[in-house]
Structure 1
Amino acid sequence: MLEMNLTRLYELSVILYSLSVSLYFIDFLHHNRKANRTAFWLLSIVWVFQTAFFLFRIVETKRFPILTMSEGLYFYAWVLITLSLVINRLLRVDFIVFFTNVLAFFILALHTFAPIHDQSEAVAEKMISELLIIHITMAILAYGAFSLSFVFSVLYMIQYHLLKQKKWGKRLLRMTDLTKLEKMSHVLNLIGLPMLLLGLILGVIWAYIKIEDFHWYDAKVLGSFSVLAVYSMYFYKRVVRGMQGKAIALWNIGSFLFLLVNFFLFGSLSKFHFWYS
């Protein structure tokens, strides 16, 4: 009975989430502040539901639920929703919630339709450790920071295009200035990079302790350190070479797309990241 009620609440949260994203889209096209406010409160309700489901899962499994592909996607979507709400309240940057939650809704949809593998779940339970949990948590939080940085770069490119085409209007004014968008993108990468580095270090330590046939040439290992290298190159280009504006925004967008390839493709090719398969 409880499981059925939770399922119904989850379905309701997905419906409310889709309505919220739709209202943000209406606001984006027609500058409808009422739609914006309604969308924000719907998203807040969705966050409450999603947090409750997450806490229930913790109680049910008696662990931090991020050890399977489905759980990882859910936590990733929850992180994006949380960060978007916090940033919207602190910075008042219009459209950041819309763009972030289009991405988060896509992630949540993948979670909803992700197949559940009993074998992966069983093996994950056996290999659980605090080190592994911290490794995965830090990696997903880093991905969340990179995701928001990507959204700011996309907004930068939209703003740049509007200015280039001299398309003045309310949308241009609401999107804040290019300098602020570039700065926030940089700050979020500044948060995400060391978090990813520490997460990878902990992951390697865990792998050496727990996995007998751990190899550095594993697809997921190479992909994750390649992501680290790509974002390190971002800082080299921006700080050392002084790259700014459109060029660094495009590099940041490309870096995030590579991150997605690593998350979805390289993970499936890995020989030991089987709880993500």
Structure 2
Amino acid sequence: MLSVFMTRVHEVTVVLYAFSVLLYFFDFIHHNRKANRIAFWLLAFVWVLQTVFLIVYMKETGRFPVLTIFEGLYFYAWVLITLSLGINRLLRVDFIVFFTNILGFIVMVIHTFAPMQYHSHVMAKQLVSELLLIHITMAILSYGAFSLSFVFSVLYLLQYDLLKRKKWGTRLLRIADLEKLERLSYILAVIGVPMLLLGLILGLQWAFLKLPGMAWYDAKIIGSFILLTAYSIFLYMRTVRNISGKKLALWNVASFLIVLINFFLFGQLSSFHLWYS
């Protein structure tokens, strides 16, 4: 019973860790200090949970948990979170904090959902199924964010065209102003990119466990990374190059076409996304 309880807590820890990474990404891109504070306290809570179970595990085994690969992964994830919290509070180097937590999240996922560490075959199989469920959910949520971002960009282009042609009227007044449309499109892309990244991490972990002989040049995998790259360039254009307006909206529309291609076409060409057993 204790083993099952600890497993469930590990799963909750992964979810909280994912939200922390999402908020750190939002702060990194959007310079939102409130998001940074929430991310810090979520990460601190994750650290507390990890520390408690690290102590419990040491008391039960009577040794330091580094003698197996899975014990080492857990301790490694704990070290990364500890360093991340220290860096966040002492140095305020957000770039380092964000990417340290991406690495820590990957390690935590590998440890939590690796079935080899569980004595029960049924529990191991259930964990792999739950890993797949989380992966699909995060991927679909990211697609939803990209879809809304696309809609706002289309409205931006429509409003831009109406203003350029001086077509004053009810339609113009009913559409929000250009600045608001661009901002909402950008924010939704900021939400979608880290969710897609975390979903890909979870999906690759599931594929590694479930399909050890899978070809890594699968159409769906390649398409997903192309999609991630396209929207990352969108954020780069907006935040680093300070590109805005029609050019940015057109890039967003083009990126959404990759979403459709990846979902409908590459999904059919994939060797394993047609089934999840």
Asked if residue 182 in structure 1 is aligned to residue 182 in structure 2, the reply is: yes
Matched residue type, 2:184: M
| Distance verdict in 2 for CA 1:159–1:242, change over 3 Å | same
SS in 1 for 2:167: coil
For residues 204 and 145 of structure 1, do their structure 2 counterparts lie closer, same or farther at Cα, with a shift above 3 Å needed? Answer: same
| Amino acid paired to 1:154 | V
> Structure 2 matches for 1:128-207, cutoff 5 A?
129-207=129-207
User: Does the alignment pair 1:231 with 2:231?
Assistant: yes
Instruction: Specify the code of the residue in structure 2 equivalent to 1:236.
Output: Y
Distance 2:184 2:141 in 1: 17
Percentage of matched positions with identical amino acids = 64
For 1:241 and 1:216, locate their aligned partners in 2 and report how far apart those are by CA, in whole Å: 33
Residue 135 of structure 2 contacts residue 203 of structure 2 at CA under 8 Å; is this kept in 1? yes
1:238 positional shift: 1.1
The AA in structure 2 aligned to 1:266 is F
Deviations 1:211-232 (A, max 9, x none): 1222221100000111000000
Cα shift at 1:275? 2.1
Shift of 1:168: 0.3
Note if contact 2:128-2:206 (Cα within 8 Å) is conserved in structure 1.
no
Give the counterpart letter for 1:158 in structure 2.
Answer: L
Matched, 1:251 2:232: no
1:63-98 superposed Cα distances (whole Å, 9 cap, x missing partner): xxxxxxxxxxxxxxxxxxxxxxxxxxxxxxxxxxxx
Cα displacement string for residues 161-215 of structure 1 (whole angstroms, at most 9, x for unaligned residues): 0000000011111101000000000000011100000000000011101112222
Map 1:262-273 → 2, pairs under 5 A:
262-273=262-273
Distance 1:212 1:149 in 2: 36
Structure 1: which 5+ residue stretches go unaligned? 1-124
Q: Deviations 1:102-153 (Å, cap 9, x if unpaired)?
A: xxxxxxxxxxxxxxxxxxxxxxx99961000000000000000000000000
Partners of 2:159 and 2:274 in 1: CA distance:
41
> What is the DSSP-based 3-state SS (H/G/I as helix, E as strand, rest coil) of the residue aligned with 2:265?
helix
| CA distance, structure 2, for counterparts of residue 274 and residue 151 of structure 1 | 28
AA aligned opposite 2:273:
H
CA distance in structure 1 between the partners assigned to 2:126 and 2:218 by the alignment = 22
Q: State the match for 1:215 in structure 2.
A: 215
Alpha-carbon distance in 1 for matches of 2:267, 2:215? 14
Q: Which 4+ residue blocks in structure 1 deviate beyond 6 angstroms?
A: 125-128
Give me the whole-angstrom Cα distance separating, in 2, the residues matched to 1:254 and 1:152: 13
Taking structure 1 as the reference length, the TM-score comes to 0.53
